[in-house]
Each structure stands twice: as structure tokens, then as C-alpha cells.
């Protein structure tokens, strides 16, 4: 081993504490890079494998009722490789031991066995007997939530008739990786299940013998999907088609797309923060090492080492720091990405997990980490090469200072000597002080990125549950009913108030832009369910006009006063030009609203309703549910009170975990920056501090200089950190936004305060560790040290 190699490892061992602080920060960047890429690639690969093996369809369509003979015409559409017709319907379930009603979606399967497309995976038991009209297979999460096994049973209200069903097996389907029911905010495996029933039995139950109301298509490669959808819509128009669509807006697939997009946003926003801070820390430490080793550098050059060898020596020291960070990051990232990928696979109801972080991701993360360490060391290495042996072996020339305006201002303030030393130490090295401020500001920003989500979720909950949807429950009817049904609902046990709403399937167009979303028709006096503006005030759709959510309006690029082409789908095949009359705030889903009387007048029909919003006397809740389980024409009940509690509890758990992770990251950044900064200050000012001790200053007064400089920089970092935190939070909310949901940017005073307190506390803790070295200074040895 050559002399420089021995020196390299001795320096590395001597600086182990500073190296560890930098490596932890660098490792965080590597770990987040691996975790984000590992998780979203695991989701993508698992989904792709699942879709391919189980022949997930490319195009989907639903209609009122179409004859079975139409399948041949659909199959003849150019580019269609396979067609699967089926019968579907939503039913109310009566689960033994459960007071509340539950919902189920019945899907027919061929009497010959598993379907050709969207093939479920049989997890336990067997398929239902094709000759039976009471046997079903259910989705595995629903069975697990209730402890069902093959042979167990429950009742279902199917098309007005209550049937006792028997479970023959459990399955998982690529169509329901994310199983969410109508009107639900998140999966509720106890309240919503998928029921596969033999085609003959399902058709008879829903009066669909010789017909179907759902179709799935598999397209050939290089097929223009839009043309297939247009041709399919033309065929289904006379049969009450609700509009064909591709995978992009298939509900389960859309949620996975949104999650993958959010993981990509995380991978793009956070790792650069850590790599940038690591480069700064390496630059700070190596710059000081080169300054302290001037004589050694001169000696190395005097005995024959070239500039390249000297520069390589310091770059290799940075390389060892990078190696330590890569090892830590690879270990933490591999474990964390696999653990989270398993959780994702379970949450999204995959039957298996394809977890593979390809070597190129490891290589890219390592290359970025080494590049960050190398860039940080480059300035110090170049400064070492510029020293000639004679100059390097002589003491460094004292810096040139002159009294400027700042010095005169400090003198006029008549500050104490320690305070003057703190301020001059900061002003003497403005670049280093500025970079320290930036590093600590980034720690504040990372902490804000975690804490703002709690306030944002509170905003979503308040807007959705307390301002827009103030009902206790929502009743869903199997088909539009006359408005007189609301009187029957009002007579149900425990119903205190009721409002009816009409949902109209529609496609909204503005120029070349279009969005498919239901238009909800409401009465002007609706109070339980309403649209609200940014101030929380109700927005009432005027006769003949539309109220859109701000996100929908932005997607269509329309403003109040613009005209929208609205094509109503299903059995109400009409197209109207309607003006946009107002905008509403809505974070979950895309919302479009119109006047109730206008909607009924457009279609020349008597007043009808699709849903009923009710207020409930919870003292009679059990009696209400018992009655709803036997109510004909009802396909589901959504208890908003239960949904609110589940939504809040799930978010609280996830936000708590995320805050803990981000707080740890922010502390690591802070400790890395503050600790290394304090160590460099101590190495530079040890002689000054020892001189003060000899002159009679106490240990506390001397330590205050070291602590004061770091804490003053930490305080200066707060405003910049708040600005950076706002920027990161804005980038995160933009990355998480989709047609399914949007995260509002809400930054309250508590968010700023929490981030600042965490960073200031971590800074104080880091500098107190270094302060112990001040107490142990050997005054005689330090005073003998050559400046």
C-alpha cells in the first residue's frame, strides 16, 4: 500500500463522525431514489404481468340492454381481437351479523367456466355450478373482511327479489385491483364486494335473457383505439350506451396510474435535495482539510507526487464518502422498497408481486451519489493542485480585511466580544455561511413537505363532508325513479330529512377537449348536498346553465360565460349547448351540476331521481338498515358518517407514518449540515477560543461563540426554508393531481412552526455534540499550533 493510500484510510478513519453524517444524508437520497423507482416499477411490472396473463381488456362499454346477436357486429369492428359480453348489476347485501347494509356488484361468467377476458384468479374453492342460481364466487378481500369460506352464505336483494346465496370460491380479478364501490372514497371490503354468478342465472335475475349490458374488448396490436371506441359507440347508441372507454378511465386502472404518477413525482422532487446537500457538505469538509494540510501537500509535491496524484487523493477521499452513502442507501432502499412494494401489492389486491429493481437503477443511483460527492470535492482538489511546494509549506498569508460599513455598524451597536466574533465569523466566509443557510433551509422545506399534507387532508375532509356533502347517508336506486319515491324514503325509520338528485351520464366537450363525467341535477334549495365556492358558500346552478368544478373547468379550458357541448349518454341520447354559469371547489372527482327542473324539461320527462340524500336519527339506525335490506329498487347505501371516519382514520395513519419518515430525514439533513459546520468552525477557531479561555472567559462564554454562530445561521435559514417548502409542497400537489382527486395546497402557521422547531432543535443538538470538544481543548497544545 502506497503512502497516499495509507493517508487516505487514516483520514477516513479520523473523520468517521463527519463522514457518517454526510453519508447518512447521501444515503437518504439514494434510498428515496431506489424506493420510489423500486415501488413504481414493482407496481408497473406486477400490473403488466397480471394484465397480460389474465387478458385484461383494452376497451369497456356499458349500456341499458343490447341483444346477444350484436356481439358478432362488435367482433367485426376492425382491430378487435376478442369480445366478451356479460350481465352486470349492483345489489344490496344482507351479511349475517352485520347491521349495516352492504353493496355488491354481480358479474356474469360463462357457463363453460372462466371468461375469455378479465379472467379472475381462483384463490380458494371452485367456480359456481352453471345450473345453480344461488351459487356465487366472491372477491377474496370481501371474503377475508367477513371471514367467509366456501360454503358460507349471505342474502342479496337482486332486482327486487331477496335470495340466499352460497359462496363456492374466492377470486381476484385484474378488473378490480383497486376495489371501490359507487360513491365510495376508498376501498371498503366489508361494505362492498364482487360477486361472480353463472351467466344463465345472472341474466334471469336481471331480466337479461338473450341480452347483455356490459361488453369488454381486446384490440390487436397497432390498432387505433379511438376508432374502435367510436365504432363501438355507434353500434351501442340505440341500445342506451353510456359511452365506451379505454383503460385510461377504467376506475381500478386509473387509481394505479395516479399512484404511479405520485411515486414518480416523489422520485423527481426529493432525491436532488439530498444530493445537493451532500455535495455542499463534502465541499465544506474537504476545503477545510486542504487548508489544514498545506504543509503536507507541499511536502508531497516536494518528494515527487504530481498535481494529478494529489488531486486524485482528495477526490478518492470524497469517493469513500460517496461509497459509504451508496452502501447505506442501497441497504435501506432495497429493504424499504421491497417492504413497501409488498404493502402496495396487498393494498391493491394483486395475486402476486413482481418485484424487480433492475441493476440500472442501482447503477444510476450510485453514479449520481458519486457525482455529487465528486463535485463537492472538485473545488478543494483543484485548490490543492494550485499550491506550489514552497508556497504550501509556508504559513498561509493572513486574509485581507478592511473596515467597511458593516464593521462600523457592528462597532456602533457596541456588542459584546463574543457577539462580535459570531457575526464576524459569519461575514468572513459569506459563501460558506450562505451554503449552510441553504442546507438548513432545505431541511425546513423537507419537514414542511410532510406536515402540510395533514392540513391538506383536513381541508379535503372539511370540504367534502362538512360543506358539500352534509347528509348522513346516500341511497342509490337501481334506475331512475319518479320523484314521488322520496315520500317513501321520508317514511323510513329514522329519516329526518331527504333530498333527491338526478345523475345524467354525459360527455362534456369544448373544442378538441372532452371529459366524461356525470352531470348532477339538483334543486335550487338543496342543502344536504351542494356545490360550494372557495369561500364555502353554496353555488346554485341557474336554469339552463352549468356549474363546473374548477379542475374540470381547467381541464376543458372554459370560464364562466363559455358554452359547452354536452352529450348526454344512455337512453337520453341528446346533445345540448349549455353555458358555464359558475365554478365550484371539489377535490374528489370531477363535478358538473345543473338545475333539476331544467334537466327534466330537456328530456320531456316527469321529475325523476337517481339518489336520495338523507339525515338520520342514529337512535333508529338499526331499524333503518333492517328496512333498507328489504327495500326493492335499492342497489346500495353509502353511510357518509362511516366513510368520513374510515377516511380520516386511514389518512391519519398514513400521514403519521409519512411525517415520522420525513422528520427523520429532516433531522439527518440538519445534523449533517450543523455538525459538519460546527466541526469546521472549531478546527478554524480553536486558537481563538483557547485564547479567550486564557484571557479569563468561562467555558460557557466560549461555547456560546460556537453555538451562537450555528444557531444564528439556523435562524437565518427559516425564511428561505419556508419559501423552499412552499415550492416543494406546490410540486407535490401538482404531481398528485388527477381526475380522481386533487390535493389542495394548504400551509397553516402550525406547518411553518413545526418545521422550524424540528430543524432548530436538531441544529442545537448537533452543535452541543461539538461543544463537548471545546470543553476538552488542551490550551497549551492549541496555542502552540501554527496559524
pLDDT exceeds 90 at position 125: yes
Residue 60 · residue 190 · CB < 8 Å: no
| Cβ-proximal residues to 11 (8 Å cutoff; 6+ apart), any chain | 289, 317
pLDDT digits (tens, 9 = 90+) for 444-468: 888 887 778 777 877 888 887 788 8
- Its sign, for the CA torsion 330, 332, 334, 340, is negative
Taking residue 335's Cβ as centre, other Cβ atoms within 10 Å add up to 13
Averaged pLDDT, 37-42: 76
Instruction: Assess contact for 668 and 445: CB atoms under 8 A.
Output: no
Q: Alpha carbon of 294 to those of 388, 429, 688, 737: distances in Å?
A: 10, 19, 20, 54
pLDDT of residue 684: 67
- What does the block give as the cell for 676? 459538519
Reported as type and span, the H/E element at residue 5 is helix 3-14
Together in a domain, 196 and 80:
yes
Residue 199 clears pLDDT 90, i.e. is over it: yes
Q: Is residue 198 part of a domain?
A: yes
| Residue 308 in domain | yes
**CA nearest to 176, candidates 190, 192, 165, 191:** 192
Q: Residues in the chain, how many?
A: 787
Half-sphere exposure (CA, 13 Å, Cβ side) for 234? 9
- 171 Cβ neighbours under 8 A, 6+ residues apart: 120, 121, 122, 123, 137, 138, 139, 140, 196
For residue 223, the model assigns a pLDDT of 87
630 domain-assigned: no
Q: Which of these, 310, 238, 246, lies nearest to 63 by C-alpha position?
A: 238
- Of 312-316, 318-322, 388-392, the poorest mean pLDDT is in 388-392
44, 80: one domain: no
Helix (H, G, I), strand (E, B) or coil at 180: coil
Q: Please give the grid coordinates belonging to residue 386.
A: 494550485
Answer yes or no: is pLDDT of 266 > 80. no
Q: Are residues 33 and 102 in the same domain?
A: no
- 142 shares a domain with 236: no
Alpha-carbon 144 to chain mean position? 27
| Percent with pLDDT over 90 in the chain | 25
| Residues 166, 581: Cα–Cα separation, whole Å | 51
CA-to-CA separations, 141 to 125, 168, 179, 188, 351, in angstroms, rounded: 15, 15, 9, 9, 11
Residue 722 lies in a domain: yes
> Which of 45-49, 245-249, 353-357, 758-762 is predicted with the least confidence, judged by mean pLDDT?
353-357
In angstroms, the CA 206 to CA 236 distance is 19
Do 7 and 313 contact (CB within 8 A), yes or no?
yes
Domain boundary (398, 431, 449) is at 398
- How far from each other are the two terminal CA atoms of the chain, in whole angstroms? 32
Residue 729 structural domain: 417-469+641-787
Is the confidence at residue 320, as pLDDT, over 80? yes
Q: What is the pLDDT of residue 396?
A: 62
Phi, psi torsion values for 514, nearest 5 degrees = -150, 150
194/138 Cα distance (integer angstroms): 5
pLDDT of residue 286: 77
Are residues 236 and 384 both part of a single domain? yes
CB 282, CB 274: distance < 8 Å: no
Task: Report which of 491, 582, 580, 475 is spatially closest to residue 529, judged by C-alpha positions.
Answer: 475
Residue ending a domain, choose from 398, 427, 450: 398
All three cell numbers of 345, joined, read: 401489492
Q: pLDDT tens digits for 748-760?
A: 888 889 888 988 8
Q: For residues 509 and 610, state if they share a domain.
A: yes
Task: Tell me 178's DSSP state.
Answer: S
The predicted pLDDT at position 498 comes to 92
Question: Cell 404518477 appears where?
Answer: 261
- 624: cell is 333503518
- Longest CA span, the chain: 103
Q: Does some domain include residue 117? A: yes
Question: In this structure, is residue 632 part of a structural domain?
Answer: no
Q: Is residue 478 part of a domain?
A: no
The pLDDT-based confidence of 213 (bands split at 50, 70, 90) is: very high
The domain total for the chain is 4
Quick one: 749 exposed, middle or buried, by C-beta within 10 A (0-12, 13-18, 19+)?
A: exposed
Q: Please check whether residues 231 and 247 belong to one and the same domain.
A: no
> 414 vs 259, which has greater pLDDT?
259
Are residues 773 and 702 part of one domain?
A: yes
Considering the domain architecture, whether residues 173 and 91 belong to the same structural domain is answered as yes
Q: Are residues 32 and 96 in the same domain?
A: no
Q: Where do we find the cell 320523484? A: 483
Q: Percent of the chain at pLDDT above 70?
A: 90
Whether the CA torsion 462, 463, 468, 473 is positive or negative: it is negative
What confidence score (pLDDT) does residue 735 get?
Answer: 65
Which DSSP string do the residues of 339-364 spell out, in sequence order? HHHHHHHHHTT-SS------HHHHHH
**Judging by DSSP bridges, how do beta strands 88-94 and 153-158 pair with one another?**
antiparallel
Under DSSP, the state recorded for 56 is -
Residues 204 and 295 in one domain: no
At residue 467, the 3 state secondary structure works out as: helix
pLDDT at 688 over 80: no
DSSP character for 691?
H
**Residue 186, SS3?**
coil
Q: Could you tell me if 138 and 195 are in contact, meaning their C-beta atoms sit under 8 angstroms apart?
A: yes
Which residue spans within 550-607 are E strands per DSSP? 563-568, 574-584, 592-595
CB neighbours of residue 600 within 10 Å:
16
Q: 363, 398, 433: which is the final residue of a domain?
A: 398
> CA separation (Å) from 397 to 61, 295, 394, 648?
81, 13, 9, 64
| Residue with more model confidence, 537 or 732 | 537
Whether 69 shows a pLDDT value over 90: the answer reads: yes
Within a domain: residue 508? yes
The per-residue pLDDT for 780 is: 56
Check which CATH number belongs to the domain holding 550 and give it.
2.40.40
pLDDT, tens digit, for every residue of 630-676? Answer: 888 888 888 887 777 777 776 666 666 666 777 777 787 787 778 77
What's the rounded mean pLDDT across residues 698-720? 82
Instruction: Give the model's confidence band at 254: pLDDT under 50 very low, under 70 low, under 90 confident, else very high.
Output: confident
Assigned C-alpha cell, 13: 478513519
* Core vs surface per residue 397-406: b (16+ CB within 10 A) or e: eeeeeeeeee
664 and 599 assigned to the same domain = no
Q: In whole angstroms, what is the distance from residue 552 CA to residue 155 CA?
A: 40
In the numeric block, which cell numbers belong to residue 35?
A: 424506493
Amino acid at each position: 500500500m502506497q503512502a497516499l493510500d495509507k493517508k487516505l484510510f487514516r483520514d477516513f478513519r479520523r473523520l468517521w463522525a463527519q463522514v457518517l453524517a454526510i453519508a447518512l444524508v447521501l444515503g437518504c437520497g439514494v434510498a428515496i431514489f431506489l424506493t420510489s423507482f423500486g415501488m413504481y416499477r414493482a407496481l408497473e411490472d406486477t400490473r403488466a404481468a397480471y394484465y397480460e396473463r389474465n387478458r385484461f381488456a383494452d376497451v369497456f362499454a356499458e349500456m341499458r340492454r343490447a341483444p346477444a346477436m350484436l356481439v358478432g357486429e362488435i367482433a367485426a369492428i376492425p382491430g378487435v381481437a376478442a369480445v366478451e359480453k356479460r350481465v352486470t348489476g349492483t345489489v344490496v347485501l344482507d351479511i349475517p351479523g352485520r347491521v349495516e347494509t352492504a353493496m355488491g356488484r354481480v358479474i356474469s361468467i360463462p357457463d363453460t367456466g372462466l371468461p375469455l377476458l378479465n379472467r379472475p384468479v381462483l384463490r380458494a374453492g371452485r367456480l359456481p355450478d352453471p345450473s345453480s342460481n344461488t351459487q356465487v364466487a366472491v372477491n377474496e378481500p370481501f371474503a377475508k373482511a367477513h371471514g367467509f369460506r366456501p360454503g358460507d352464505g349471505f342474502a342479496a336483494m337482486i332486482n327486487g327479489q331477496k335470495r340466499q346465496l352460497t359462496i363456492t370460491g374466492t377470486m381476484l380479478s385484474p378488473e378490480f385491483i383497486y376495489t371501490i364501490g359507487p360513491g365510495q372514497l376508498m376501498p371498503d371490503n366489508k361494505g362492498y364486494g364482487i360477486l361472480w354468478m353463472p351467466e344463465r342465472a345472472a341474466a334471469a335475475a336481471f331480466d337479461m335473457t338473450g341480452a347483455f349490458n356490459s361488453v369488454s374488448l381486446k384490440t390487436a396490436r397497432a390498432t387505433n383505439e379511438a376508432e374502435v371506441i367510436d365504432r363501438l359507440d355507434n353500434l351501442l347508441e340505440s341500445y342506451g350506451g353510456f359511452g365506451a372507454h379505454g383503460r385510461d378511465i377504467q376506475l381500478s386502472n386509473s387509481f394505479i396510474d395516479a399512484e404511479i404518477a405520485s411515486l414518480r413525482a416523489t422520485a423527481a422532487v426529493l432525491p436532488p435535495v439530498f444530493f445537493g446537500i451532500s455535495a455542499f457538505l463534502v465541499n465544506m469538509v474537504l476545503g477545510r482539510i486542504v487548508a489544514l494540510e498545506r504543509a503536507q501537500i507541499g511536502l508531497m509535491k516536494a518528494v515527487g507526487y504530481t498535481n494529478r496524484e494529489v488531486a486524485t487523493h482528495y477526490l478518492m477521499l470524497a469517493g469513500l464518502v460517496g461509497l459509504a452513502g451508496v452502501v447505506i442507501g442501497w441497504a435501506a432502499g432495497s429493504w424499504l422498497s421491497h417492504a413497501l412494494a409488498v404493502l402496495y401489492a396487498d393494498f391493491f389486491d394483486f395475486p402476486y408481486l413482481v418485484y424487480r429493481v433492475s441493476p440500472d437503477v442501482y447503477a444510476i443511483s450510485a453514479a449520481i451519489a458519486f457525482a455529487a460527492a465528486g463535485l463537492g470535492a472538485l473545488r478543494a482538489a483543484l485548490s490543492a493542485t494550485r499550491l506550489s511546494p514552497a508556497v504550501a509549506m509556508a504559513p498561509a498569508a493572513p486574509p485581507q480585511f478592511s473596515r467597511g460599513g458593516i464593521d462600523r455598524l457592528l462597532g456602533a451597536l457596541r456588542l459584546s466580544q463574543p457577539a462580535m466574533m459570531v457575526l464576524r465569523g459569519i461575514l468572513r466566509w459569506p459563501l460558506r455561511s450562505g451554503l449552510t443557510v441553504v442546507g438548513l433551509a432545505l431541511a425546513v422545506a423537507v419537514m414542511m413537505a410532510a406536515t402540510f399534507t395533514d392540513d391538506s387532508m383536513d381541508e379535503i375532509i372539511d370540504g367534502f363532508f362538512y360543506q358539500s356533502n352534509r347528509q348522513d347517508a346516500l341511497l342509490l336506486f337501481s334506475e331512475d325513479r319518479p320523484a314521488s319515491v322520496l315520500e317513501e324514503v321520508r317514511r323510513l325509520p329514522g329519516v329526518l330529512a331527504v333530498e333527491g338528485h338526478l345523475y345524467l351520464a354525459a360527455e362534456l366537450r369544448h373544442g378538441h377537449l372532452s371529459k366524461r363525467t356525470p352531470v348532477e341535477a339538483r334543486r335550487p334549495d338543496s342543502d344536504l348536498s351542494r356545490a360550494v365556492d372557495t369561500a364555502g358558500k353554496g353555488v346554485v346552478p341557474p336554469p339552463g346553465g352549468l356549474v363546473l368544478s374548477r379542475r374540470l373547468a381547467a381541464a376543458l379550458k372554459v370560464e364562466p360565460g363559455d358554452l359547452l357541448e354536452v352529450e348526454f349518454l344512455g337512453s337520453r341520447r341528446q346533445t345540448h349547448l349549455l353555458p358555464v354559469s359558475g365554478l365550484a371547489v371539489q377535490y374528489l372527482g370531477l363535478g358538473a351540476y345543473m338545475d333539476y327542473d331544467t334537466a327534466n324539461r330537456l328530456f320531456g320527462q316527469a321529475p325523476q331521481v337517481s339518489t336520495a340524500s338523507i339525515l338520520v336519527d342514529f337512535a333508529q339506525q338499526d331499524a333503518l338498515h333492517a328496512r333498507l335490506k328489504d327495500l326493492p329498487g335499492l342497489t346500495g347505501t353509502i353511510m357518509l358518517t362511516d366513510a368520513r371516519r374510515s377516511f380520516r382514520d386511514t389518512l391519519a395513519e398514513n400521514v403519521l407514518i409519512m411525517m415520522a419518515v420525513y422528520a427523520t430525514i429532516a433531522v439527518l439533513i440538519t445534523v449533517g449540515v450543523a455538525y459538519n459546520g460546527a466541526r469546521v468552525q472549531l478546527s478554524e477557531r480553536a486558537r481563538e477560543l483557547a485564547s479567550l479561555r486564557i484571557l479569563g472567559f468561562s467555558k460557557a462564554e466560549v461555547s456560546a461563540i460556537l453555538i451562537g454562530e450555528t444557531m444564528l445561521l439556523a435562524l437565518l435559514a427559516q425564511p428561505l426554508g419556508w419559501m423552499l417548502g412552499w415550492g416543494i409542497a406546490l410540486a407535490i400537489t401538482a404531481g398528485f393531481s388527477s381526475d380522481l382527486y386533487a390535493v389542495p395546497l394548504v400551509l397553516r402557521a402550525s406547518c411553518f412552526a413545526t418545521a422550524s422547531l424540528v430543524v432548530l432543535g436538531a441544529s442545537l443538538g448537533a452543535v452541543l455534540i461539538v461543544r463537548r470538544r471545546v470543553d476538552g481543548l488542551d490550551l497549551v497544545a492549541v496555542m502552540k499550533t501554527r496559524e
